[in-house]
Structure 1
């Protein structure tokens, strides 16, 4: 069963990954079987998002229900079947029913988490985010959540969409930013995104430079857009200073879609030879 892993130990492990010339991989996992397989496959971090529930329902990635409560229930399922991998919880800091961020994070700590990430993030809804900022429930709450989590010695990740956001979370003490370049392309519920990888890489690099202008040693990963398959990340690492990748749909949706379709086709392709029919023919 998974146990909380100290922030310093996570840093030690990730330093080892980088020293071997490997990318850091954060794997989105919303069910025990996915988490278990991701750990066996060598993921460095397991990231548990409430939105993963929609992916497992065959839907486009969507926020459904009480995000924080759903994520906590997922954590119980996932910690039951994983062993040594750090569990990173997606925390909805802008939840108006949980205004005490310290208390909210304590509830997550009870579920053996080792770190947090600001997801669902209000940054996915730019216009709405500006309006919510007026009542104290915008991106500033997510930045404060990172600050409070850091004070509790949790490993902190943050999704950011531009350099200024990256600077703000870096200033709050964030350990690792993830440059988000849009909804993941590909699979059965894919979005249309024709941006070339070189353009996405330029966005990622700008975000990284913003973060490192405040915190030179901050870890920097990327997520989304056309970076949806392992071969896509080759361009990410060639064109940017990203040290790894976070996959959600790329790990727990698209590969499952392909695997199930392929295995069903394979079972159906095996010819049927019925013994009774063979005897009658003779």
Structure 2
């Protein structure tokens, strides 16, 4: 069995077992290696991947910023092919509409370099309007991409055809494409990606139409989807459930979007570690309070909440409302759990906290009073003396000299 037959047998088996076929479109060896480690079934080398690494949108792949075929050959031979196992087919993104391309010679060169197959990218299928009309009038047509797929198949190369409508799907099907991939446009999401595309629901109808036009023989062509709103495992699974798609090819979804978010987040962590740490601790306290309510640990919630909001904890009635409990019943639970009333507990907590504050040399009685929720320093002093037997000033002097 030749390599192409082995690849197709393996892919068909995965589809038969309802395991999605995953293709990763990459622009460097590092991403190819990690995609391979993650279990990618196909590695596609596209010029769009290199532009993504430059921080530029994939749309740049359609403009004359150098030779796409030279770029892909260089990336593939110097980085990608040496980064992944030969068991995973590496696919060459072929710009078949390049007027200078000698198709037969270059296809032989692609195979000789070690690529397992080709796909038609950059593709004229992503261009419409007046520019598309002008290209076709000059002889640069989608049919050139169809021809490339046909001739690559004759050489024993695995062929993946990107198609954008039913007519293109039929043409690629007739050319013998092993895999038909319904291309839904540039992937949305992230910081440099396109912001608008066809909706996920409309994508379903487009994919159904393209796949419905295919003639399947011997289980081929396999049917995959690419791009547009399909930028997450959840969206891909939604497409699998509602169409005949058995897999997904992604570029930005594997390279750009996760890399953007990871690098931004890690940099923020280094730059703002203390601030983020404080935010996380606050969030943890909030979750602890929520869990206390979930466990019906009402008194645990009150003691923790009031301790954290001692300057303004609210009234006991407000706490009861928060817990959806009758005030008298909550008062009964509090005394049963602590052995004292809520008001006595609150005074003791405030005096104890004030004592800790007064140990700071710069802290005044007035500041300690406000810190624990008493605007009236005289009232605070009376409560303090009642609890400790001395005024706050005397207590501070005595403990400052110790």
The answer to whether the superposition gives a TM-score over 0.5 is yes
- Separation in 2, partners of 1:117, 1:271: 49
- Separation in 1, partners of 2:170, 2:218: 8
- Separation in 1, partners of 2:213, 2:134: 25
What corresponds to 2:91 in structure 1?
A: 88
What are the within-5 Å matches in structure 2 for residues 35-74 of structure 1? Answer: 35-61=32-58, 62-63=60-61, 64-74=65-75
CA deviations on 1:61-102 (whole Å, 9 max, x unpaired) are: 11231000000001011112211311001000010111x211
Task: Name the larger-Rg structure.
Answer: 2
Say yes or no: does 1:120 pair with 2:117. Answer: no
What corresponds to 1:233 in structure 2?
A: 236
Hey, which of these two has a bigger chunk of helix by percent? 2
The 1:50/1:42 distance shift into structure 2, 3 A limit, reads same
Contact 2:26/2:50, CA 8 A, preserved across alignment:
no
Contact 2:179/2:220, CA 8 A, preserved across alignment:
no
- From 111, 121, 124, give the equivalent of 2:113: 111
Say yes or no: does 1:13 pair with 2:10. Answer: yes
Task: Give the count of matched residue pairs.
Answer: 267
CA deviations on 1:177-212 (whole Å, 9 max, x unpaired) are: 110111111000132326431111111111111123
Q: Which has the higher contact order (CA 8 A, sep 6+)?
A: 1
The 1:160/1:214 distance shift into structure 2, 3 A limit, reads farther
What corresponds to 1:75 in structure 2?
A: 76
Contact 1:236/1:242, CA 8 A, preserved across alignment:
yes
Query: Which one is further off, 21-30 or 215-224?
Result: 215-224
Say yes or no: does 1:192 pair with 2:181. Answer: no
Contact 2:184/2:198, CA 8 A, preserved across alignment:
no
Contact 1:170/1:214, CA 8 A, preserved across alignment:
no
Contact 2:197/2:228, CA 8 A, preserved across alignment:
no
- From 156, 179, 191, give the equivalent of 1:176: 179
Contact 2:12/2:219, CA 8 A, preserved across alignment:
no
Say yes or no: does 1:102 pair with 2:99. Answer: no
- Separation in 1, partners of 2:232, 2:194: 15
What corresponds to 1:251 in structure 2?
A: 254
Contact 1:88/1:114, CA 8 A, preserved across alignment:
yes
Secondary structure of the corresponding residue to residue 158 of structure 1: strand
- Separation in 2, partners of 1:19, 1:215: 13
- Separation in 2, partners of 1:88, 1:40: 17
- Separation in 2, partners of 1:205, 1:215: 20
- Separation in 1, partners of 2:233, 2:56: 23
Deviation at 1:47, TM superposition (A): 0.4
What corresponds to 1:157 in structure 2?
A: 160
What corresponds to 1:29 in structure 2?
A: 26
Secondary structure of the corresponding residue to residue 178 of structure 1: strand
Deviation at 1:110, TM superposition (A): 2.5
- From 164, 167, 170, give the equivalent of 1:167: 170
Give the TM-score, by structure 1 length: 0.89
Contact 2:170/2:213, CA 8 A, preserved across alignment:
yes
Contact 1:79/1:112, CA 8 A, preserved across alignment:
yes
CA deviations on 1:144-189 (whole Å, 9 max, x unpaired) are: 0011001001000111000110000100111111101111110001
Contact 1:198/1:235, CA 8 A, preserved across alignment:
no
- Separation in 2, partners of 1:21, 1:265: 40
Secondary structure of the corresponding residue to residue 123 of structure 1: helix
* RMSD value, Cα: 1.9
Give the TM-score, by structure 2 length: 0.63
